[in-house]
Protein backbone atom coordinates (compact mmCIF):
# COMPACT_ATOMS: atom_id res chain seq x y z
CA UNK A 1 0.00 0.00 0.00
CA UNK A 2 1.45 3.35 -1.02
CA UNK A 3 1.55 6.12 1.51
CA UNK A 4 0.15 9.37 0.22
CA UNK A 5 1.31 11.90 2.77
CA UNK A 6 0.73 15.55 2.20
CA UNK A 7 2.49 18.37 3.98
CA UNK A 8 2.48 22.10 3.64
CA UNK A 9 4.92 23.11 0.92
CA UNK A 10 7.27 25.93 1.85
CA UNK A 11 7.37 28.80 -0.56
CA UNK A 12 8.29 32.45 -0.48
CA UNK A 13 7.24 35.74 -1.96
CA UNK A 14 9.67 38.55 -2.61
CA UNK A 15 9.15 42.27 -3.07
CA UNK A 16 11.18 45.43 -2.75
CA UNK A 17 10.01 48.16 -0.39
CA UNK A 18 12.01 51.42 -0.47
CA UNK A 19 15.25 49.62 -1.31
CA UNK A 20 14.73 46.80 1.20
CA UNK A 21 14.10 43.29 -0.07
CA UNK A 22 11.22 41.72 1.84
CA UNK A 23 10.93 37.94 1.69
CA UNK A 24 7.83 36.40 3.23
CA UNK A 25 8.36 32.74 3.99
CA UNK A 26 5.34 30.42 4.10
CA UNK A 27 4.77 26.88 5.32
CA UNK A 28 7.40 24.78 7.03
CA UNK A 29 11.04 25.80 7.22
CA UNK A 30 12.42 22.27 7.38
CA UNK A 31 14.81 19.87 5.67
CA UNK A 32 12.77 19.36 2.47
CA UNK A 33 12.20 23.12 2.04
CA UNK A 34 15.68 24.40 2.82
CA UNK A 35 17.48 23.63 -0.49
CA UNK A 36 15.02 25.63 -2.59
CA UNK A 37 14.85 28.48 -0.09
CA UNK A 38 18.65 28.50 0.32
CA UNK A 39 19.15 28.96 -3.42
CA UNK A 40 16.72 31.88 -3.50
CA UNK A 41 18.19 33.53 -0.40
CA UNK A 42 21.75 33.01 -1.65
CA UNK A 43 20.83 34.88 -4.82
CA UNK A 44 19.29 37.73 -2.80
CA UNK A 45 22.39 38.03 -0.60
CA UNK A 46 25.02 37.73 -3.33
CA UNK A 47 25.53 41.46 -3.88
CA UNK A 48 27.22 44.10 -1.78
CA UNK A 49 25.36 45.48 1.26
CA UNK A 50 22.16 43.45 1.02
CA UNK A 51 19.22 44.88 2.98
CA UNK A 52 16.90 41.99 3.72
CA UNK A 53 13.80 41.46 5.84
CA UNK A 54 12.58 37.91 6.33
CA UNK A 55 8.95 37.77 7.41
CA UNK A 56 8.45 34.53 9.33
CA UNK A 57 4.85 35.28 10.29
CA UNK A 58 3.31 32.69 7.93
CA UNK A 59 5.85 29.99 8.87
CA UNK A 60 4.17 27.13 10.72
CA UNK A 61 7.25 25.09 11.71
CA UNK A 62 11.02 25.54 11.96
CA UNK A 63 13.47 22.67 12.48
CA UNK A 64 17.25 22.67 12.92
CA UNK A 65 17.85 22.87 9.16
CA UNK A 66 15.61 25.95 9.05
CA UNK A 67 17.58 27.55 11.89
CA UNK A 68 20.80 26.67 10.07
CA UNK A 69 19.49 28.40 6.95
CA UNK A 70 18.66 31.55 8.93
CA UNK A 71 22.17 31.54 10.40
CA UNK A 72 23.66 31.05 6.93
CA UNK A 73 21.70 34.03 5.59
CA UNK A 74 22.79 36.11 8.59
CA UNK A 75 26.44 35.23 8.01
CA UNK A 76 26.24 36.00 4.27
CA UNK A 77 24.59 39.36 4.92
CA UNK A 78 27.11 40.32 7.60
CA UNK A 79 30.07 39.31 5.43
CA UNK A 80 28.76 41.69 2.75
CA UNK A 81 28.25 44.54 5.24
CA UNK A 82 24.47 44.28 4.88
CA UNK A 83 21.51 44.12 7.22
CA UNK A 84 19.12 41.29 8.04
CA UNK A 85 15.92 41.73 10.02
CA UNK A 86 13.52 38.97 11.05
CA UNK A 87 9.82 39.54 11.56
CA UNK A 88 8.85 37.04 14.22
CA UNK A 89 5.39 37.72 15.66
CA UNK A 90 5.09 34.14 16.96
CA UNK A 91 6.19 33.60 20.54
CA UNK A 92 7.06 29.99 19.72
CA UNK A 93 9.78 31.03 17.31
CA UNK A 94 11.21 33.47 19.84
CA UNK A 95 11.28 30.70 22.47
CA UNK A 96 13.07 28.47 19.96
CA UNK A 97 15.73 31.15 19.48
CA UNK A 98 16.16 31.50 23.24
CA UNK A 99 16.43 27.72 23.76
CA UNK A 100 19.08 27.43 21.05
CA UNK A 101 21.06 30.44 22.26
CA UNK A 102 20.31 32.39 19.08
CA UNK A 103 18.04 35.12 20.47
CA UNK A 104 20.83 37.68 20.36
CA UNK A 105 22.00 36.69 16.89
CA UNK A 106 19.21 38.42 14.94
CA UNK A 107 17.47 41.77 14.74
CA UNK A 108 13.91 40.78 15.70
CA UNK A 109 10.70 42.71 15.09
CA UNK A 110 7.09 41.90 15.98
CA UNK A 111 5.74 43.08 12.61
CA UNK A 112 6.70 44.09 9.11
CA UNK A 113 6.00 47.82 9.56
CA UNK A 114 8.41 47.97 12.51
CA UNK A 115 11.09 46.06 10.61
CA UNK A 116 10.82 48.36 7.61
CA UNK A 117 10.90 51.42 9.84
CA UNK A 118 14.07 49.99 11.37
CA UNK A 119 12.95 50.47 14.95
CA UNK A 120 14.73 47.88 17.06
CA UNK A 121 11.89 46.28 18.97
CA UNK A 122 13.61 43.02 19.84
CA UNK A 123 13.04 43.63 23.54
CA UNK A 124 9.24 44.03 23.34
CA UNK A 125 8.93 41.17 20.83
CA UNK A 126 10.89 38.87 23.12
CA UNK A 127 8.97 40.02 26.17
CA UNK A 128 5.68 39.33 24.43
CA UNK A 129 6.78 35.75 23.87
CA UNK A 130 7.49 35.05 27.53
Answer for the pair 63, 34: CB distance below 8 angstroms, yes or no: no
CATH number, domain with residue 58:
3.30.750.24
Q: How many CA atoms lie within 13 A of 56 on its CB side?
A: 26
Domain boundaries, position 86: 11-125
Residue 5: inside a domain: no
Residue 1: inside a domain: no
Query: What mean pLDDT comes out for the span 83-98?
Result: 93
- β pairing state of 51-55 and 107-109: unpaired
Residue 130: inside a domain: no
Each residue's pLDDT tens digit, 6-33? 455 567 888 898 889 999 999 999 999 9
Each residue's pLDDT tens digit, 37-65? 999 999 999 999 999 999 999 999 999 99
Q: Domain tally for the chain?
A: 1
Entry pTM: 0.83
Q: Which residues contact residue 34 at a Cβ distance below 8 angstroms, ignoring those fewer than 6 apart?
A: 65, 66, 68, 69
Question: Mean pLDDT over all residues of the chain?
Answer: 85
Amino acid sequence: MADNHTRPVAYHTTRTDYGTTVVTLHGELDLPAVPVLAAALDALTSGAEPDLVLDLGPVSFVDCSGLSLLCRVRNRVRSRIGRLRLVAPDGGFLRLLRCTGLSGAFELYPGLPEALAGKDLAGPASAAAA
